[in-house]
């Protein structure tokens, strides 16, 4: 986190309007609570102590020793004087022993099930073992155990359960390739309407998260927007409804144009319920739609730090914000043929110099079709002549075609004539060039 | 010798069918090969060189001339005169039978002529006189090399402007190796570099760079190095390696042309300082490769491309601002006044469409402002260019069709079709041994043609012998 953000947090702390970490985290359940707290502890100094203490308390109720140690170590590096920053050796020993004995117990159980060859029992044995690994923080073993259930599933329902478990584990591991493949698996299964109603939001959310993770904001926005509002708290081990609103809204802002924002976000009855949870996102989108870009950007700026502390959003905040900003600039410029730089910098709340630099950068990247008049301090839109540009493009394409075709023909001729470059027969001479040839080249005329 | 003369005269005087001509030529060459060099020079006190006519009895004349040169029977000045005369007037059909001797003669000719300049014109005429100037022969490589040595780029262009459309197969020209052909492409590229015709230079260097094969020749490496630099001069940004380049070749390029790739990347950043630094590191290597001049031109072009690039971003920009960017990478100044002169030069050469405006000197800080004009493209010019391009595209597409036909009739393809037929449908058991191969060939070819998948008419079938001519051994 940069200095500016830190100062911002400190101010907020002083004014007492800090996000209450406890409140925030109570939206979630299970492992993700701790993951999120640890992330805050790692990245945000002002909140770190509070977050880490919460995490330590939560972890002590679980049997996840590795992460307990991690949390304590982080806390110790920030505030060594805190009572929670000392490892509770006795607890660690006790839990480790318990975990080991349980592992043994479940494995023995599984063995006996396997011996009896009853599919259902074997499946449950794997599931128990997987759940146990999951609880004790060994995600990769949990993933393996859940995956082994595959062969022993007898009903579609079992496959659904298994895939959901795996999706959950994979999201926590950040393994979005598996997430996608298991989503496909579920989609290919027959489902009853009740299952469908239960699954639809989870699938939508998981797909959305995997798109978000790969930076595919457009598809992420689409899937989040389609998420049925029955999600509620039903899957808060992974995601809360608030998150859906934030992710969906931000991705939509970053990837959609104004008419789309209106028709697909603001007039979307299903998504409206989510937006009501995060009214500022709704406001930001409305402002963007009504072309009040500065207002939209300043709302986003206010919440920037919250998003920087979000486990899924953190890596994408900068990119999304940049996209929204450059989109606003482009949209702002659309109706004009010339704008003064000063008007533009006013509209976006920056200084003229910075505005100019930003615009130049955007023009160079080809995002903005405009040119800058540095003498009269104007931004001038490019004159476009579609007719001649089509002519030019055609010409270039044809020339390219001609060259490539000629090259290919030449290669075919050469192959047909059987005079390709061949490595020399003797192994001692390197790479198809004899020393004779090298000498030849040195003697050949060299110009310049 | 007299007999040979007679048969040559009779041969050229009447029209004979191809196979008879073939046979007679064969016997003539056999006879010629038996005669010793001494006997060739003169017979019964008569200078045979004066008896044979270079344009009608070319084959005999060639043997005699070669013998004369080898025995030093004529004056060096005479050699040049006689040979160049011969090269300008020989009968290509006859010479086609004695490529080896012809090559030997050209070799002697080149070594005899002290200056490369002297051989350029005769070689050019010799190429133009051959049955098909766009068919590669050893003359092409000799010619391109001599043009480079003599720096007669303009003469070279007459030949180089025609792209090769055909290459002799291994059978037809045993002594032509890949080295000759790659060298021709490399030299061709260098000729155009000399003329600063980057577009054509690029074409030739691309041919050399993407020359097929599973190894990398030293010529190809040289071509690739130049390819990278010329690409910068042509496009103002690094060009991609032609996609047809084979993987093995590519690997050698990557390993052996590092400095060039790094240089192009520095060019791409648009950061003059980075380019200067990189150039300082790379220059010694470029000098060693003989590419320093080209690299210097790239540095020069860097500034030109950068300024031209500003057209897309700005409408007006003060010269002071441009000078401040410090785009000059050759250490020739780059101050405000120098920049202004430079821009003026660019405008005069029509590289950018812009005008320079001076503030009135009465102002406190008189400066100079560059106004970029938007690019009004003349429609007429565009349309004309398009029309020409359509012609060329049709031409190359026809070439591609011919090539397809040729490949479709090649032995390999027909064997392949045979195999497909065998595995696909049940052919009579025990069939398809060598004995029926010919029958099968024809049968399948009929199939192939009647299916009409390629759209050839039956008239094309008359070219059956193409198949045999162009069938190539797999070695």
CA dihedral sign, ordered A224, A226, A231, A237? negative
Contact between residue B135 and residue B173 where contact means Cβ atoms under 8 Å apart = no
Answer yes or no: is pLDDT of A184 > 70: yes
Asked if the Cβ–Cβ distance from A410 to B166 is below 8 Å, we say no
Residue A429 contacts B where some CB pair is shorter than 8 Å: no
Q: In angstroms, what CA-CA distances link A84 with A75, A87, B214, B361?
A: 8, 8, 66, 76
User: Which H/E stretch holds residue B314?
Assistant: strand B314-318
Complex ipTM: 0.76
pLDDT in tens, B18-68: 778 888 888 888 888 888 777 777 766 677 777 778 877 788 888 888 888
Answer yes or no: is pLDDT of B258 > 80: yes
Distance CA A64, CA A61 (A): 9
User: What pLDDT score does B263 carry?
Assistant: 92
Asked if the Cβ–Cβ distance from B314 to A371 is below 8 Å, we say yes
Which of A358, A365, A445 has the highest number of chain B CBs within 10 A, making it the mutation to test binding with B? A445
Which of B136, B137, B167 has the highest number of chain A CBs within 10 A, making it the mutation to test binding with A? B167
Residue A343: give its domain's CATH number.
Answer: 1.10.10.10
With bands split at pLDDT 50, 70 and 90, how would you rate the model's confidence at B184? very high
Number of domains in chain A: 1
CB atoms inside a 10 Å sphere around CB A435: 10
Instruction: Nearest by CB to B210, from A405, A407, A441: name it.
Output: A407
Residue B193 contacts A where some CB pair is shorter than 8 Å: yes
User: What pLDDT score does B361 carry?
Assistant: 66
Q: Which residues of B touch A419 (CB under 8 A)?
A: 167, 170, 176-178, 181
Instruction: Nearest by CB to B244, from A402, A411, A416: name it.
Output: A411
Kindly state the average pLDDT of the residues A29-44: 81
Answer yes or no: is pLDDT of A432 > 80: no
pLDDT in tens, A82-141: 777 778 888 888 888 988 998 999 889 888 888 888 888 888 888 888 888 888 888 888
In a domain, A397, yes or no: yes
- Its domain, for residue B466, covers 379-472
pLDDT in tens, A275-293: 888 888 888 999 988 888 8
pLDDT in tens, B59-110: 888 888 888 888 887 777 888 888 888 888 888 888 888 888 888 888 888 8
Nearest-Cα distance to chain A for B161, in Å, is 14
Residue A411 contacts B where some CB pair is shorter than 8 Å: yes
DSSP β-ladder status, A378-381 and A370-373? antiparallel
Answer yes or no: is pLDDT of B365 > 70: no
In a domain, A426, yes or no: no
Instruction: Nearest by CB to A444, from B145, B316, B377: name it.
Output: B145
Distance CA A103, CA A142 (A): 12
Residue B218 contacts A where some CB pair is shorter than 8 Å: yes
Contacts of B111 (CB under 8 A, 6+ apart): none
Asked if the Cβ–Cβ distance from A409 to B399 is below 8 Å, we say yes
Contact between residue B217 and residue B182 where contact means Cβ atoms under 8 Å apart = yes
In a domain, A363, yes or no: yes
Distance CA B285, CA B283 (A): 5
Instruction: Take residue A401 and report the two structure tokens written for it.
Output: 């075609």
Nearest-Cα distance to chain A for B416, in Å, is 16
User: What pLDDT score does B202 carry?
Assistant: 93
Which of 146-165 (B) contact A at CB < 8 A? 148-149, 151, 163-165
Distance CA B376, CA B316 (A): 17
In a domain, A53, yes or no: no
Greater model confidence, B132 or B169: B132
- Which residue of chain B has the CA closest to A386? B377
User: Which H/E stretch holds residue A370?
Assistant: strand A370-373
CA dihedral sign, ordered A165, A166, A172, A176? negative
Kindly state the average pLDDT of the residues B359-386: 76
Asked if the Cβ–Cβ distance from B211 to A412 is below 8 Å, we say no
In a domain, B337, yes or no: no
Q: Which residues of B touch A391 (CB under 8 A)?
A: 377, 379, 382-383, 386
Instruction: Nearest by CB to B216, from A403, A432, A448: name it.
Output: A432
User: What pLDDT score does A190 carry?
Assistant: 67
In a domain, B252, yes or no: no
In a domain, A122, yes or no: no
User: What pLDDT score does B445 carry?
Assistant: 38
Asked if the Cβ–Cβ distance from B244 to A448 is below 8 Å, we say no
With bands split at pLDDT 50, 70 and 90, how would you rate the model's confidence at A301? confident
Helices and strands per DSSP (H, E), number in chain B: 24, 5
Greater model confidence, A448 or B421: B421
Contacts of A365 (CB under 8 A, 6+ apart): none
Asked if the Cβ–Cβ distance from A437 to B217 is below 8 Å, we say yes
- Which residue of chain B has the CA closest to A397? B389
Answer yes or no: is pLDDT of A433 > 60: no
User: What pLDDT score does B79 carry?
Assistant: 82
Instruction: Nearest by CB to B212, from A380, A414, A445: name it.
Output: A414
In a domain, A389, yes or no: yes
User: What pLDDT score does A311 carry?
Assistant: 84
Number of domains in chain B: 1
pLDDT in tens, B218-254: 899 999 999 999 999 998 888 888 888 888 888 888 8
Instruction: Take residue A294 and report the two structure tokens written for it.
Output: 């500065």
Answer yes or no: is pLDDT of A5 > 60: no
Would you say how long chain B is, in residues?
Answer: 475
In a domain, B440, yes or no: yes
In a domain, A347, yes or no: yes
Asked if the Cβ–Cβ distance from B472 to A444 is below 8 Å, we say no
In a domain, B363, yes or no: no
With bands split at pLDDT 50, 70 and 90, how would you rate the model's confidence at B11? low
User: What pLDDT score does B451 carry?
Assistant: 39
> Rounded to 5, what percent of chain B is helix, strand, coil?
70, 5, 25
CA dihedral sign, ordered B235, B236, B240, B242? positive
Contact between residue A159 and residue A191 where contact means Cβ atoms under 8 Å apart = no
- Which residue of chain A has the CA closest to B148? A445
Residue A290 contacts B where some CB pair is shorter than 8 Å: no
- Contacts of A351-355 spanning 24+ positions with Cβ under 8 A: A352/A377
Instruction: Take residue A161 and report the two structure tokens written for it.
Output: 């359960």
In a domain, A358, yes or no: yes
Residue A409 contacts B where some CB pair is shorter than 8 Å: yes
Measured in degrees and rounded to the nearest 5, phi and psi for residue A346 equal -65, -45
The partner residues of B46 in beta bridges, in order of sequence, read B43
Asked if the Cβ–Cβ distance from A395 to B164 is below 8 Å, we say no
Contact between residue A174 and residue A238 where contact means Cβ atoms under 8 Å apart = no
Residue A10 contacts B where some CB pair is shorter than 8 Å: no
User: Which H/E stretch holds residue B243?
Assistant: none
Asked if the Cβ–Cβ distance from B169 to A417 is below 8 Å, we say yes
Q: In angstroms, what CA-CA distances link B227 with B113, B180, B190, B236?
A: 33, 19, 10, 13
With bands split at pLDDT 50, 70 and 90, how would you rate the model's confidence at B198? very high
CB atoms inside a 10 Å sphere around CB B60: 26
Q: In angstroms, what CA-CA distances link A59 with A69, A130, B18, B275, B282?
A: 10, 19, 97, 55, 58
- Its domain, for residue A352, covers 337-401
In a domain, B439, yes or no: yes
With bands split at pLDDT 50, 70 and 90, how would you rate the model's confidence at A367? confident
Distance CA A248, CA A246 (A): 6
Closest CA to A417 of B248, B367, B241, B137: B137
Q: In angstroms, what CA-CA distances link B211 with A2, A404, A429, B412?
A: 53, 13, 20, 22
In a domain, B269, yes or no: no
Distance CA A110, CA A118 (A): 11
Contact between residue A75 and residue A82 where contact means Cβ atoms under 8 Å apart = yes
Cα within 13 Å of Cα(B103), Cβ side = 15
How far is CA B444 from its chain centroid? Answer: 37
Contacts of B360 (CB under 8 A, 6+ apart): B366
Which of 290-329 (B) contact A at CB < 8 A? 290-294, 312-318, 321
């Amino acid at each position: 986190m940069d200095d500016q953000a830190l100062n911002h947090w400190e101010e907020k702390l002083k004014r007492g309007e800090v996000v209450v970490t406890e409140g925030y985290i109570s939206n979630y359940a299970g492992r993700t609570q701790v993951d999120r707290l640890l992330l805050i502890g790692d990245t945000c100094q002002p909140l770190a102590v509070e977050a880490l203490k919460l995490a330590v308390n939560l972890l002590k109720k679980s049997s996840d020793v590795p992460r307990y140690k991690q949390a304590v170590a982080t806390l110790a590096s920030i505030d060594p004087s805190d009572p929670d920053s000392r490892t509770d050796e006795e607890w660690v020993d006790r839990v480790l022993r318990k975990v080991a004995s349980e592992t043994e117990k479940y494995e023995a159980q599984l063995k006996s099930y396997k011996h009896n060859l009853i599919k259902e029992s074997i499946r449950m044995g794997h599931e128990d073992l997987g759940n146990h690994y999951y609880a004790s923080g060994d995600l990769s073993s949990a993933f393996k155990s859940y995956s082994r259930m595959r062969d022993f599933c007898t009903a579609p329902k079992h496959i659904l359960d298994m895939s959901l478990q795996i999706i959950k584990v994979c999201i926590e591991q950040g393994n979005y390739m598996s997430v996608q493949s298991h989503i496909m698996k579920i989609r290919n299964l027959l489902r009853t309407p009740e299952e469908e109603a239960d699954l639809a939001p989870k699938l939508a959310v998981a797909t959305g998260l995997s798109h978000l993770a790969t930076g595919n904001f457009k598809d992420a926005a689409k899937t989040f927007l389609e998420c049925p509002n029955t999600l509620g708290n039903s899957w808060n081990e992974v995601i809360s409804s608030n998150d859906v609103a934030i992710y969906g809204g931000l991705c939509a802002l970053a990837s959609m144009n104004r008419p789309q924002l209106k028709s697909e976000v603001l007039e979307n009855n299903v998504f409206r319920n989510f937006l009501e949870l995060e009214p500022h996102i709704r406001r930001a989108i409305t402002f963007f739609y009504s072309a009040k870009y500065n207002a939209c950007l300043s709302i986003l700026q206010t919440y920037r730090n919250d998003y920087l502390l979000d486990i899924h959003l953190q890596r994408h905040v900068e990119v999304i914000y940049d996209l929204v900003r450059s989109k606003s600039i482009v949209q702002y410029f659309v109706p004009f043929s010339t704008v003064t730089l000063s008007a533009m910098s006013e509209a976006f709340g920056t200084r003229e110099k910075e505005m100019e630099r930003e615009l130049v950068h955007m023009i160079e990247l080809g995002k903005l079709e405009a040119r800058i008049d540095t003498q009269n301090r104007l931004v001038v839109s490019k004159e476009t002549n579609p007719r001649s540009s089509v002519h030019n493009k055609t010409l270039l394409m044809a020339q390219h075609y001609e060259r490539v075709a000629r090259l290919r023909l030449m290669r075919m001729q050469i192959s047909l004539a059987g005079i390709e470059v061949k490595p020399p027969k003797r192994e001692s001479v390197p790479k198809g060039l004899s020393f004779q040839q090298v000498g030849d080249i040195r003697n050949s005329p060299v110009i310049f | 010798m007299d007999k040979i003369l007679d048969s040559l005269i009779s041969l050229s005087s009447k029209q004979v069918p191809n196979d008879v001509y073939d046979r007679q030529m064969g016997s003539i060459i056999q006879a010629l090969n038996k005669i010793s060099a001494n006997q060739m020079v003169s017979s019964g006190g008569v200078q045979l060189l004066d008896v044979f006519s270079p344009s009608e009895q070319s084959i005999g004349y060639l043997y005699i001339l070669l013998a004369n040169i080898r025995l030093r029977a004529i004056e060096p000045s005479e050699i040049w005169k006689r040979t160049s005369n011969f090269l300008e007037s020989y009968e290509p059909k006859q010479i086609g039978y004695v490529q080896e001797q012809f090559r030997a003669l050209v070799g002697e000719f080149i070594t005899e002529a002290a200056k490369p300049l002297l051989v350029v014109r005769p070689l050019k005429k010799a190429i133009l006189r051959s049955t098909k100037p766009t068919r590669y022969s050893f003359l092409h490589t000799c010619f391109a090399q001599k043009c480079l040595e003599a720096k007669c780029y303009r003469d070279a262009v007459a030949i180089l402007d025609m792209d090769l459309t055909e290459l002799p197969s291994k059978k037809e020209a045993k002594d032509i190796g890949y080295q000759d052909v790659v060298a021709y492409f490399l030299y061709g590229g260098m000729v155009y570099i000399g003329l600063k015709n980057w577009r054509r230079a690029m074409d030739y260097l691309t041919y050399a760079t993407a020359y097929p094969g599973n190894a990398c020749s030293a010529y190809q490496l040289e071509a690739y190095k130049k390819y990278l630099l010329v690409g910068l001069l042509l496009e103002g940004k690094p060009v991609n390696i032609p996609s047809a380049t084979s993987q093995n070749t590519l690997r050698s390029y990557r390993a052996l042309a590092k400095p060039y790739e790094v240089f192009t990347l520095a060019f791409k950043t648009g950061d003059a300082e980075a380019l200067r630094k990189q150039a300082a590191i790379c220059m010694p290597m470029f000098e060693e490769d003989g590419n320093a001049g080209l690299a210097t031109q790239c540095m020069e072009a860097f500034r030109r491309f950068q300024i031209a690039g500003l057209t897309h971003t700005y409408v007006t920009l003060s010269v002071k601002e441009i000078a401040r960017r410090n785009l000059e990478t050759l250490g020739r100044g780059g101050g405000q006044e120098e920049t202004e002169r430079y821009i003026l030069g660019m405008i005069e050469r029509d590289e950018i469409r812009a005008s320079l405006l001076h503030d009135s000197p009465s102002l406190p800080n008189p400066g100079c402002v560059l106004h970029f004009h938007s690019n009004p493209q003349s429609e007429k010019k565009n349309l004309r260019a398009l029309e020409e391009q359509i012609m060329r595209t049709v031409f190359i597409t026809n070439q591609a069709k011919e090539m397809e036909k040729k490949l479709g009739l090649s032995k390999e393809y027909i064997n392949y079709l045979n195999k497909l037929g065998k595995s696909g449908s049940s052919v009579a058991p025990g069939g398809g041994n060598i004995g029926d191969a010919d029958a099968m060939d024809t049968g399948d070819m009929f199939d192939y043609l009647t299916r009409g998948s390629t759209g050839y008419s039956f008239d094309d079938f008359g070219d059956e012998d193409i198949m045999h001519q162009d069938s190539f051994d797999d070695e």
